[in-house]
Structures are given as C-alpha cells and as structure tokens.
Amino acid sequence: MKKKSLILLSGVAFSIFFYSACSPGGQKPDNSQDSLSLRKVENPFEKNGIKLSPVENSPGYADAKIEILKPKTGDYIKPGKVKFEFNVQNYNLGNQTQDAADKMCANSKQGQHIHFILNNAAYTALYEPKNEIELPEGHYTLLAFLSRSYHESIKSENAFAINQFIVGKPQSIDTIITEDHETGELFKTEIAYFKEGKKQQINLKLNSNPYLFYSRPKGTYIGSDAKKIMLDFYLVNTEISDSGNKVKLLIDSTEFILTKWVPYFIEGLSMGDHKISLTLIDKENNPVFWAAPFYESGERIITLKEDEPVAEKK
C-alpha cells in the first residue's frame, strides 16, 4: 500500500467489492487501495498447522475522517481524568459494518468504533466522540483510527490521527544528540524525568519516523470466535514490501514475514494461551531500532476457549 500521510494537530511538544447504496448514514463505496489490495495478495500460507490468510472484500470508506480535537499536541494536562474529543466525519460510530455476519469472526455488538491506542498499549474501543480516561503522569503518544465493527482498521487516507501530550509536569528534561540511522542527520532527543523514577522520550518525530502499532488480536476468544482470529496493525510514515521494510509476526515460536499491509485471519490455533508479537524490520530483516519507541509490539497474550463455562451462561 502507499505510504500514508500523517495527520497532526498544531504544535511540536508533544473491500470493498460491493457496498449497497442503501447503507446506513450514506457511507460511500470505496475503490481505495485499502479495499482493492485485499483482492490482490497471495494465497494463504501455512506453517506448523497455523494458516494465515488475507481478510478480503471488506467495505471501504475512502471519505472517512477522524481528527483529535482534545487534547492538542503539546498540551500539558493535570493527572486524573483527561478529556478526549474527536471529530469523526463520513463514518457512523455504533453501526454494524455491512458484512459483519459474513466475516464469521469476533464482532462488536456495539458496532463501528474508534481504536484508541496510547503508547502502543492495548487499544480501548470508543463508541462516542467524547470520552474521559484516567491517566497518571507521563508522556503519551495517541494513535486513533476508525475501525469496522469486527475490529478491522480503516486504512484510507484520513482515517487515523496521531499526536503527543504530557500529563503532569516533568521534574527535568535532558537533551541528547542522536544520529538518524538512514540519513546520518543529527537531531535532538529529549528525555523527560517524572516522579518515581519514570523517564520517557518526548517530542517524538511523529511526522517522519516509521512506526508500527499493534491492534488485534486481543483478549479472549470463545467458541466460534476462536476459529478465525483477525490480525491487524497500523503503520505510520512507512510502507512494507518485498524489497523494503517488512513486519515480522511471531505466533508462539512460528514466524511469518508480512510484506503487504492488510489484515489477516489466523486459523489453526489450539485452545489455550498464545503469544503474539509484531516487529517492524528493514530490508535486511533487522529490527528498525532507530525508529524507537514504536517499532515493536512486545509480547501480547490471547486466550482461546472451547465455550463459556456453564456457570457463566445466561
């Protein structure tokens, strides 16, 4: 897919194959790469009984747009409940995506939503444009993107937004000189020190550094939801290909190298816990360390269960 343009608020501190004209809210069909590329990828590939296959023919939303209204880039905010506000256009939060039943995978009964990711931690699903979230002191990078009801991200041009802000006040800030791995350019890196020994890089180069954000899978999958599990991630300021950057996927000890930015279904996993991780790697298969901190997901644990315990059924 093409390299995405970044949407930033002001400041520096911090497929479609068919979509019916009678769809709710007048959402338009889409011929974008987000949709059409899903029909051009290779056949499923399989290792150690695990099959990975692209998610195909999802409705696309070329005109969908999200903006972060609060907090703004560079804001210093008091610890506690932080107000988040988004402007969502040409996309209906709360609606079921048209083909949700056909996907036969985990789907939110509350419908389409925003995937809200702070510092590449597990996302929170937001179904309203205004929310309050409790946050301790620290530097935060917020990625927000629009999601179909079955948790597949919208990858069209304006369907994501990213910014950075600080909660609380750093006790001190150190500046170090860092060399750009690719260009040799020297630039400043600022490290903020907060209470209780917490230190974080601030003033990240959100408009230029390549970043990888983990989205799915997440949590526990029960019964039929455990048969097909969606893998999805979000790329910022980079593209992946056979000859450029790639994404390394580890499912337990089984490795796949992904060269196309599309979601995938994972099939063949046994019941129980499984470890999932994603790493952005370069053309020589080395981790893109210089683009820290968001070049890898860390280890995520998901759980598959045959069915709900009898006591939990209602």
Domain ranges of the chain: 24-310
pLDDT for 181 beyond 70: no
Cβ proximity of 190 and 274 under 8 Å: no
- The predicted model gives 160-187 an average pLDDT of 87
For the chain, percent of residues with pLDDT exceeding 70? 82
- For 230-248, what is each residue's pLDDT tens digit? 999 999 999 999 999 999 9
d(CA 81, CA 66): 22
> What are the Cα distances from residue 235, in Å, to 157, 257, 262, 313?
12, 15, 10, 39
Cβ proximity of 52 and 46 under 8 Å: yes
pLDDT for 71 beyond 90: yes
Please give the pLDDT value at position 310: 59
Residue reference for tokens 């409705």: 59
Question: What is the residue-averaged pLDDT of the chain?
Answer: 86
Please give the pLDDT value at position 290: 84
- For 248-291, what is each residue's pLDDT tens digit? 999 999 999 999 999 999 999 999 999 999 999 999 999 998 88
35-49, 76-90, 143-157: segment of lowest average pLDDT: 35-49
Q: What are the φ and ψ backbone dihedral angles of 48, each rounded to 5 degrees?
A: 50, 35
Nearest to 60 by CA among 155, 188, 179: 155
pLDDT for 29 beyond 70: no
Distance of CA 172 to the CA centre of its chain: 31
Neighbours of 260 (CB within 10 A): 18
Residues in contact with 55: Cβ distance below 8 Å, sequence separation at least 6, in sequence order: 38, 103, 152, 230, 262, 263, 264, 265
Token output for 201: 């890089």
